[in-house]
Amino acid sequence: MDDQPDEHLSEISTVWTMVFQAHRTQAAQAASAARELLLERYCGAVYRYLVAAVRDPHVAGELSQEFALGFVQGKFKNADPEKGRFRDYVKTALFNLIRKHHKKQSRQPVGLDMATAEPAAPPETAEADETFLNGWRDELLARVWEALARIEAQTGQMYFTLLDYRAKHKTSSAEMAEKLSRRLGKALTAVGVRQTLHRGRDKFADLLIHEVARSLESDQAEPVEQELIELGLMSYCKDAFARRFRPQK
């Protein structure tokens, strides 16, 4: 297909950066920069949700830009980021934006070429919540995988390579060592693969907790734990969470 959501993400991210920079005054820079950067990190979740809601990548792109502009202009006053999680702020703002879009569409005259192609109805609340939650979780995990890949590039520790291979191929450490040795042109052992996988899982879990805390703008145990549970991510990092927030005395 020609219009896959991921094809537009780099463009969406660039547009958001330009919008934020254009509207960031010197006086407000310190106060707004961190939140704007946080929002930019989740433009993928925003855009994918909009695509699912309106079923048109081009319309989703336009709404994404409208969302970014509205964010810096303070148009989403009913979704105050100081009164709750940033994720809830984004979700509420997007729901309102989509309702506005569908309301506008319903007022448009229906031409002959649109007789059998009515605009998609706004998603039901439960369905919309689940769609947004899944997108937000996927974006969090994507950020963690990117961070793991950067660590591998910097240190040479094959955390990303081995975890990615194991996720895609349910196979033994011995078989992984054999196949990756041929692919990478370097000798790997089953013992070495198992050790690196273990360390890689620990690193992945630590990075996941860090990313969740960053998305919450909080490093307190209770909100981080609640967010991990709500997003269905606690199973990835239960031991790492205990090490970080409940160390043994």
pLDDT interval class at 203 (50, 70, 90): very high
Q: Specify the pLDDT at position 210.
A: 93
- Higher-confidence residue of 66 and 26: namely 66
Confidence at 21, pLDDT banded by 50, 70, 90: low
Mean per-residue pLDDT, 100-104: 85
CA-to-CA distance for 93 and 80, rounded, in angstroms? 10
**Please, which pLDDT band fits residue 8 given cuts at 50, 70 and 90?**
low
Mean pLDDT of the chain: 79
DSSP string, the chain: ----GGGGHHHHHHHHHHHHHHH--TTTHHHHHHHHHHHHHTHHHHHHHHHHHHS-HHHHHHHHHHHHHHHHHT--TTS-GGGS-HHHHHHHHHHHHHHHHHHHHHTS---GGGTT-PPPPPPPHHHHHHHHHHHHHHHHHHHHHHHHHHHHHHH---HHHHHHHHHHS---HHHHHHHHHHHHTS---HHHHHHHHHHHHHHHHHHHHHHHHHHHT---HHHHHHHHHHTT-HHHHHHHHHHHHS---
CA distance 28 to 50: 29
Q: Rounded CA gap, 85 and 105, in Å?
A: 31
pLDDT band at 107 (very low <50, low <70, confident <90, very high): low
Distance CA 19, CA 176 (A): 46
Confidence tier at 187 by pLDDT (50, 70, 90):
very high
**Span 165-194, average pLDDT:** 94
> Predicted confidence band at 248 (pLDDT cuts at 50, 70, 90)?
low
Which has the closest alpha carbon to 211: 126, 150, 157? 150
Cβ neighbours for 188, distance < 8 A, ≥ 6 positions apart:
176, 177, 180, 181
* Residue extents of the structural domains in the chain: 5-123, 131-245
Residue 128 has pLDDT above 70, yes or no: yes
Give the model's confidence band at 2: pLDDT under 50 very low, under 70 low, under 90 confident, else very high.
very low
Rounded CA-CA distance 102/212 in Å is: 32
- Model confidence at 158: pLDDT above 70: yes
Least confident of 20-34, 46-60, 134-148: 20-34
Selected residue with higher pLDDT from 12 and 141: 141
Measure the CA–CA gap between 81 and 83, rounded to whole angstroms.
5
State mean pLDDT over 133-141. Answer: 91
Distance between CA atoms of residues 143 and 246, nearest Å: 25
Q: What is the distance of C-alpha 18 from the center of its chain?
A: 20
Residue whose C-alpha is closest to residue 128's, from 228, 47, 49: 49
pTM: 0.77
